[in-house]
Amino acid sequence: MLNINKTIAQELTIKENSVNSTVELLKDGATIPFIARYRKEKTEGLDETQIKNIKERFEYYTELEKRKETILKTIKEQDKLTPELEKEILYCVEKQKLEDLYLPYKPKKRTRATIAKEKGLEPLADTILAQLPVKGINPTKDELAGAKDIIAEKISERADIRSHLRKMTYEQGTIVSKVKKEFKDQKTKFETYYDFSESVHKSPSHRILAMQRGEKEGVLSWKIEVNEDAALEFIDSKIIKNKDFVFHEDLLDAIDDGYRRLIFPSIETEVLNSKIEEAEKEAINVFSKNLKNLLLSPPAGEKMIMGVDPGFRTGCKVAIIDKNGNFKEYKPIFPHEPQKRVAEAEAILLDFIKKYNIELISIGNGTASKETSSFINTIIKKNNLNAKSIVVNEAGASIYSASDVAIKEFPDLDVTVRGAISIGRRLQDPLAELVKIEPKSIGVGQYQHDVNQVQLKKTLELTVESAVNYVGVELNTASAELLSHVSGIGNVLAQNIVKYRKENKEFKNRKQLLKVTKLGSKAFEQCAGFLRIRNSENPLDNSAIHPESYHIVEKMAKNLNVSTEKLIGNQELISKIKLSDYVTEQIGMPTLQDIIAELKKPGLDPRKEFSSLEFSSEINEIKDLEIGMELDGVVTNVTNFGAFVDIGVHQDGLVHISKLSDRFVSNPYDIVSVGDTLKVRVISVDKQLKRISLERVV
């Protein structure tokens, strides 16, 4: 029987004790953020990525063990389970190898071989395959054909042969894509792959997914090509024992048929699927990294904000939100063609800015954003106003505005008004607003509709959970959507928390969470450290220090003859604390160091400081671009092959990985992340396909 935890420890090069502790915590219902933050002694300091990897591998091997049980039972029922085969199955660590071992015993539909077996031809096939001396055997043409069908299938089911040829196909094969005849003379986004070939093992994820999409859209066909002679020579070396055997040529025919008809098509599918699976995993990881960076974008904070959802014909939707994100007022304006009610629009904006003392104006980056930004900036300069306009990514705002969440939040408001409110709020606090939108609708991934949707959803949910718990959540103001992502809470408890808050005005301390319906001690343990209460009765409630450790801080304060409140933020007093005095069997140095870090800067927002970028007012559309232009831009998406940058022309440009630095870059994430501002130079423009190539100005 496979020792799962030991196998994981060896595979991930993590101590077995750490794996054991992590698996036990996960089984007990602990979340990844909670384990990483508050159980460092048990895991010996594993981070979220390591814990996530342990979780994934544990699930993989648990499924593998269940599959082994089914396979062993099936083979036993056929009375074909040998001690050697049983041992090989029990200690197998790869799903593919396990399926190879099972293949000869797997119940199958009627094939040419099963039909031949029904005719009693298996003894003849076994005799030919064994290449033993034969006397008095003179099969008919049909009998020989049937025997060869049985031989072909038996060869195709040999695990050693399949394993070697699969490896050979992966390491030495070539992926080839061709354009379909009807698209031969057309210009499409798949032009690169019209006549393309590349080594299977070297083909990166984005090219695999591009070819797959091209095939799905009927533009491309793709396949794997291998050295057939080398493959057949390998099978011959495994099968042929006697070249002078009377049925030698027939055996060679069966080998050839088995490879071309059964082995290669199956292995080609397996290898392509394996490459697609690898590519999907990589694409999901890319999406996850970009999403996390976007969720952790610096918040503008508690400021009066005007949210503007720009448009031409339908006008610009303008909504005011206060310092806490509450909606105050809405009006539409029509400063652009065809209405061009400029004076009226200016009067409305000026009235709003002065009436609410607007500090920031958040403009969505969709249709008419550049024109709206230019119009608002002109008003700001003309009237010498202190307000500042900022263009924000509005991806997903329209989806949110029509969602059940938005309808529940603003039942009496129109869809367009909700969109403007969302645009304003995502400047004030991107994390709090973006959690209301399905992650894949936020638009920071490549090929998100082509990948495994179950795995994508699972990974992105973990990403959102990680970001929310990293920042922490203000218990008395957070929405149910934001609370639902806090460790140990979920949708039902989030709704119950909001309900309790409405009925009791606010939470005065963390302990009150235990009065929330269905929120028991286990959920409290998981969530309490990630929830903040600004004006709590206990000042530690506004920190990341877990309530289970309050007694340690109280002891520290008592030993210094001060109150807990006076210890918080007092660098001089904190520097006098000797941590080794507080080490116990339960509490070690990692937890104590985290407590000290929090005492120094309690409730500190870990996100970067807020800053903004203004696009060039001269460049508004692709047609305005010229080769050599240098522009400021914002990174909207990072992929393995480069970064997409918004330069204010309604179409992102690509800075290829080779153009990100003046030195070699193996990973774009080492250089840039979503939300970064860059200075870029235009190197080419394809107006027909709307493609802009840029290089980073270093």
Q: H or E stretch including 308? A: strand 305-309
Q: Is the pLDDT of residue 597 over 90?
A: yes
Question: Which CATH number goes with the domain that contains 43?
Answer: 1.10.10.650
Give the Cα-Cα-Cα angle 571, 577, 582 (nearest 5 degrees).
Answer: 140
Higher-scoring residue by pLDDT: 148, 662: 148
Q: Is the pLDDT of residue 448 over 80?
A: no
Residues 309 and 394 occupy one common structural domain: yes
Tokens representing residue 188 in the block: 């499409």
Confidence of residue 276 (pLDDT cuts 50, 70, 90): very high
Q: What is the three-class DSSP state of 474?
A: strand
Residues 582 and 678 occupy one common structural domain: no
Q: What are phi and psi of 690, to 5 degrees?
A: 55, 50
Q: Is the pLDDT of residue 374 over 80?
A: yes
Q: Is the pTM of this model over 0.75?
A: yes
Q: Is the pLDDT of residue 536 over 80?
A: yes
Mean pLDDT of the chain: 93
Question: Which CATH number goes with the domain that contains 679?
Answer: 2.40.50.140
Residues 492 and 565 occupy one common structural domain: yes
Residues 659 and 688 occupy one common structural domain: yes
Mean pLDDT in residue range 206-225? 95
CA distance 445 to 447: 7
State pLDDT tens for residues 663-694: 888 888 888 988 888 999 999 998 888 889 99
Please report the pLDDT score of residue 106 as a whole number: 93
What are the beta bridge partners of residue 319? 307, 330
SS3 string, 405-472, reads HHHHHCCCCCHHHHHHHHHHHHHHCHHHHHCCCCHHHCCCCCCCCCCCHHHHHHHHHHHHHHHHHHHC
Q: How many domains are there within the chain? A: 5
CA distance 233 to 256: 10
Q: Pick the last residue of a domain from 261, 291, 321.
A: 291
Confidence of residue 468 (pLDDT cuts 50, 70, 90): very high
Q: What is the three-class DSSP state of 506?
A: coil
Residues 254 and 336 occupy one common structural domain: no
Mean pLDDT in residue range 356-366? 93
Mean pLDDT in residue range 300-321? 94
- Least reliable range by pLDDT among 7-21, 329-343, 625-639: 625-639
DSSP result, 637-652: EEETTEEEEE-SSSS-
User: Counting runs of H as helices and runs of E as strands, what totals does the chain give?
Assistant: 29, 15
CA distance 569 to 545: 13
Residues 315 and 268 occupy one common structural domain: no
Q: Is the pLDDT of residue 634 over 90?
A: no
Task: With respect to residue 582, please indicate whether it lies within any of the assigned structural domains.
Answer: yes
Task: With respect to residue 121, please indicate whether it lies within any of the assigned structural domains.
Answer: no
Question: Which CATH number goes with the domain that contains 424?
Answer: 3.30.420.140
Mean pLDDT in residue range 62-89? 96
Residues 531 and 645 occupy one common structural domain: no
Question: Which CATH number goes with the domain that contains 591?
Answer: 1.10.150.310
Strand ranges (DSSP E) for 153-232?
A: 174-179, 195-199, 220-225
Contacts of 426 (CB under 8 A, 6+ apart): 362, 392, 393, 394, 397, 433, 434
Task: With respect to residue 532, please indicate whether it lies within any of the assigned structural domains.
Answer: yes
Mean pLDDT in residue range 512-538? 96
- In the chain, % of residues over pLDDT 70: 100
Residues 18 and 97 occupy one common structural domain: yes
Range of the domain at 96: 4-105
Confidence of residue 549 (pLDDT cuts 50, 70, 90): very high
Residues 311 and 284 occupy one common structural domain: no
Cβ pair 422, 433 in contact under 8 A:
yes
Cβ pair 359, 322 in contact under 8 A:
no
Q: What is the three-class DSSP state of 656?
A: strand
Question: Which CATH number goes with the domain that contains 210?
Answer: 1.10.3500.10
Q: What is the DSSP letter of 218?
A: T
Confidence of residue 461 (pLDDT cuts 50, 70, 90): very high
Give the Cα-Cα-Cα angle 496, 498, 503 (nearest 5 degrees).
Answer: 95
Residues 494 and 416 occupy one common structural domain: no
Please report the pLDDT score of residue 70 as a whole number: 96
Q: Is the pLDDT of residue 618 over 80?
A: no
Residues 329 and 418 occupy one common structural domain: yes
CA distance 529 to 488: 11
- Least reliable range by pLDDT among 176-190, 609-623, 666-680: 609-623
Please report the pLDDT score of residue 354 as a whole number: 94
Own/partner long-range contacts of 36-45 (Cβ < 8 Å, ≥24 apart) = 37/469, 37/529, 37/530, 37/544, 37/594, 38/529, 38/546, 38/548, 38/591, 40/588, 40/590, 40/591, 40/594, 41/586, 41/587, 41/588, 41/590, 41/591, 43/18, 44/15, 44/17, 44/18, 45/590
Q: Is the pLDDT of residue 636 over 80?
A: yes
Contacts of 650 (CB under 8 A, 6+ apart): 367, 369, 370, 621, 622
Residue in this structure with the two tokens 């692709």, named with its chain if needed: 622
CA distance 69 to 86: 11
Confidence of residue 465 (pLDDT cuts 50, 70, 90): very high
Q: Pick the last residue of a domain from 105, 140, 172.
A: 105
Q: What is the DSSP letter of 245?
A: -
- In the chain, % of residues over pLDDT 90: 78
Tokens representing residue 198 in the block: 């590349």
DSSP result, 518-542: T--HHHHHHHGGGEE-TT-SSGGGG
Residues 312 and 398 occupy one common structural domain: yes
Tokens representing residue 284 in the block: 């999901």
Task: With respect to residue 312, please indicate whether it lies within any of the assigned structural domains.
Answer: yes
Closest CA to 661 of 651, 670, 674: 670
Longest CA–CA separation in the chain, Å: 109
Q: Pick the last residue of a domain from 105, 138, 173.
A: 105
Task: With respect to residue 132, please indicate whether it lies within any of the assigned structural domains.
Answer: no
Please report the pLDDT score of residue 397 as a whole number: 84
Task: With respect to residue 663, please indicate whether it lies within any of the assigned structural domains.
Answer: yes
Q: How many of the other CB atoms lie within 10 Å of CB of 284?
A: 24
Q: H or E stretch including 686? A: strand 677-686
Task: With respect to residue 123, please indicate whether it lies within any of the assigned structural domains.
Answer: no
Confidence of residue 589 (pLDDT cuts 50, 70, 90): very high
Please report the pLDDT score of residue 136 as a whole number: 79
Task: With respect to residue 443, please indicate whether it lies within any of the assigned structural domains.
Answer: no
Q: How far is CA 571 from CA 314, 549, 576, 583, 602, in A?
A: 56, 20, 9, 21, 12
25-63 in b/e form (b: 16+ CB < 10 A) is bbeeebbbbbbbbbbbbbbeebebebbbbbbebbeebee
Q: Is the pLDDT of residue 604 over 90?
A: no
List the strands of the sheet with 305-309, edge to edge.
327-333, 316-321, 305-309, 360-364, 388-392
